[in-house]
Amino acid sequence: MKFAILVFPGSGCDVDMHRALNGVFGKEATLVWHTDAAQLADYDAVVVPGGAAYGDYLRPGALAKGSDAMTHLQAFAKSGKLVLGVGNGFQILTEAGLLPGALLQNKSLKFQTGAAKLTVENAISQFTAEYNKGEEITIPFAHQYGNYYVDQETLKEMKENDQIAFTYADEFDQGSTEKIAGVLNKEGNVLGMMPLPERAVEEILGHVDGQRLFKSILKKVE
């Protein structure tokens, strides 16, 4: 099982993700610079980590969307392999059209960080099978553009396809449509979420609810 962690200028959580995949779960994880994205086809899954790709200029994910890496990432996702985007990675996936919706500035207009309580809405996906539907979990977050927006027609379609993976169970939704915290594509092989599961995989970090997300991925591909 080989993971590629796709790194852009300004990515800041790539090392956190490498620590989770390699240090905690003992899986091969490689930091792949965006200009080397042609290598993605050699991996079993791709993670787009958090941070501030290209300094979040214009808006988060906007410049990464124009990178040649997106052509390779879109082909990877189309092949049916798993793609996970967290934080800024989620923003990049929406900008690139790999996931529906968009991430707007927090309703507070401020950067916020903490630990959010989430409700598991889909417990049968390739990313969430180790959870129980309706279960509440705690996952850290750190963002200024965490306000997920989607129009009502698309929202209806997402509900019909069971594409809503997580919702916020507390006040940290930042104004997100129906408190959505994480979404899947129609095919179910791409997940984007604003909270950061790689920061919830060890007791020393204070939370371990992120472990089962990675265990779900590993169960699927191994």
Cα 60 from Cα 103, distance rounded (Å): 8
CA–CA dist 200, 209 (Å, integer): 6
* Count of domains observed in the chain: 1
- 28 forms bridges with which residues in the sheet? 2
Own/partner pairs for 217-222, CB < 8 Å, 24+ apart? 217/45, 217/82, 217/84, 217/126, 217/127, 218/1, 218/25, 218/27, 219/129, 219/130, 220/82, 220/126, 220/129, 221/1, 221/44, 221/45, 221/82, 222/1
Residue with token string 């939370």: 207
pLDDT at 222: 63
pLDDT of residue 219: 87
Rounded CA-CA distance 67/82 in Å is 20
Averaged over successive runs of 10 residues, the pLDDT of the chain (222 residues) comes to: 96 96 96 96 97 94 94 97 98 98 96 97 97 98 97 98 98 97 98 98 95 93 65
- Domain interval for residue 101: 2-221
Q: Could you tell me where the beta strands, DSSP code E, fall in the chain?
A: 2-7, 28-33, 45-48, 82-86, 102-104, 112-120, 136-143, 147-149, 164-168, 180-184, 190-193
Burial category of 98 from C-beta neighbours within 10 Å (exposed 0-12, middle 13-18, buried 19 and up): buried
CATH number of the domain where residue 197 is located: 3.40.50.880
Beta-carbon contacts of 194 under 8 Å, excluding residues fewer than 6 positions away, are 86, 87, 90, 103, 141, 143, 146, 148, 181, 182
- Residue 203: the pLDDT is 94
3-state helix, strand, coil in the chain (%, to 5): 35, 30, 40
